[in-house]
C-alpha cells in the first residue's frame, strides 16, 4: 500500500500548491491514501471549512491539525460535521470533534489515522499523549480492526517525537512528526517495523521564518518588541512530505523516503515510486 503524508500547509501559497499538485501525485504515483496537515492553512493560523473541503476534493483522505486547530472559530462547529477532519486526540473528554478515525484506502484497506499532540514546550498542555495512543491502539489493533495505523504526532521536542515512535514501534505502520515546519533527515524504519520521521516539514514558502514573512519574526528576535502581526509568506511554495510503502500482509512499513517538490529545497520523490 502506498501512503503519502504532506506536512503543515501554511497560508494561501502552501494550500494552493497542494491543491494544484496533489491530484497529479495521486494519479501518477498510484497513491492509495493521502493525509495532509492543515492547521496553518488559513493565513498561517487554523483552517476554515472551505479550505478543508478543497483539500479533500484535491485528493486528501484525511486532514489533521494541531495546536492551531481552533484559531478559526468556525472549526469548533464544522469539526463535528466531517469525519475526515481530525483534531488532537488527547484533548480532554467532551472537546468537539474527533482525534482518530478508521478510513478506507483506494485499495480497500482499513486505515486508522490518529492525531496526537505532544506536551513538551507546547500550549495548551493536553492529556498524556502516550496514554491516549495506548487507548487508541487497544481499541483498534493493527491487523485486527485496522490494516494500517498512522499517527500524526504534532510536537515541538524531537526527543518526545522519537520516544513516541519507539513507544508504538511494531504496533503502528507509520509515525510522522509535524509542527516545526522543517523537514528532518531521519526518515527510517524502526526495529519493530514502524516507519518514522521526526518532521515532515511544511507546504509553504521556504523564503520565510517557518512559512511566515521573515521581517517581523526577525524584528522580534532583535528588538524584543512587536512592530506588527505575523503574516503568511506569499512566495512560491515547496511541498514537503513523506512517502511510505506498507506491507499488505503485516501492516508494517517496508520503505520510507521524503517527498519535496518546489523551488527552494532539493526536489525528491521516493525512489520506490519513480
Report the 3 state secondary structure along 226-250: CCCCCCECCCCCEEEEEEEEECCCC
Does residue 67 have a known ligand-binding role? Answer: yes
Task: Give the CA angle between residues 179, 145, 107 to the nearest 5°.
Answer: 75
* CA-closest candidate to residue 118, choices 107, 105, 129, 110: 129
Q: Is 166 a catalytic residue?
A: no
Annotated binding residue at 39? yes
Is 40 annotated to bind ligand? yes
Cβ within 8 Å of residue 91, ≥6 positions away: 99, 126, 127
DSSP helix/strand/coil, 46: coil
Grid cell in block for residue 19: 491543491
Report the sign of the C-alpha dihedral through residues 92, 94, 97, 102, in that order. positive
Asked whether residue 154 is marked as a ligand-binding residue, the answer is yes
Question: CB of 201 within 8 A of CB of 175?
Answer: no
Q: Which of 68, 82, 123, 166 is catalytic?
A: 68
Residue 179 annotated as part of some ligand binding site:
yes
Q: Which residues are annotated as a binding site?
A: 8, 39-40, 67, 154, 179, 181
Q: Which residues are annotated as a binding site for Fe cation?
A: 8, 39-40, 67, 154, 179, 181
Active site residues: 68
Amino acid at each position: 500500500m502506498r501512503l503519502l503524508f504532506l506536512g503543515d500547509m501554511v497560508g494561501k501559497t502552501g494550500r494552493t500548491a497542494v491543491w494544484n499538485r496533489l491530484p497529479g501525485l495521486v494519479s501518477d504515483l498510484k497513491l492509495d491514501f493521502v493525509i495532509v496537515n492543515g492547521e496553518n492553512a488559513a493565513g498561517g493560523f487554523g483552517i476554515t471549512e472551505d479550505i478543508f473541503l478543497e483539500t479533500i476534493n484535491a485528493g486528501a483522505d484525511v486532514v489533521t491539525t494541531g495546536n492551531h486547530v481552533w484559531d478559526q472559530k468556525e472549526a469548533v462547529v464544522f469539526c463535528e460535521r466531517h469525519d475526515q477532519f481530525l483534531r488532537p486526540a488527547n484533548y480532554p473528554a467532551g472537546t468537539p470533534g474527533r482525534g482518530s478515525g478508521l478510513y478506507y484506502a483506494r485499495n480497500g484497506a482499513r486505515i486508522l489515522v490518529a492525531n496526537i499532540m505532544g506536551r513538551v514546550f507546547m500550549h495548551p498542555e493536553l492529556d498524556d499523549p502516550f496514554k491516549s495512543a495506548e487507548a487508541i491502539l487497544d481499541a483498534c489493533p493493527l491487523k485486527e480492526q485496522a490494516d494500517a495505523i498512522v499517527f500524526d504526532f504534532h510536537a515541538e521536542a524531537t526527543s518526545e517525537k522519537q520516544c513516541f515512535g519507539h513507544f508504538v514501534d511494531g504496533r503502528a505502520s507509520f509515525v510522522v512528526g509535524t509542527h516545526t515546519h522543517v523537514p528532518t533527515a531521519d526518515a527510517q524504519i524502526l526495529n519493530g517495523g514502524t516507519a518514522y520521521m521526526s518532521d515532515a516539514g511544511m507546504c509553504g514558502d521556504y523564503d520565510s521564518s517557518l512559512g511566515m514573512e521573515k521581517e517581523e519574526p526577525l524584528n522580534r528576535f532583535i528588538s524584543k518588541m512587536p512592530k506588527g502581526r505575523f503574516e503568511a509568506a506569499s512566495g512560491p511554495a515547496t511541498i514537503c512530505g513523506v512517502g511510505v510503502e506498507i506491507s499488505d500482509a503485516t501492516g508494517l512499513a517496508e520503505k520510507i523516503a521524503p517527498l519535496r517538490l518546489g523551488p527552494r529545497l532539493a526536489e525528491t520523490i521516493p525512489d520506490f515510486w519513480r
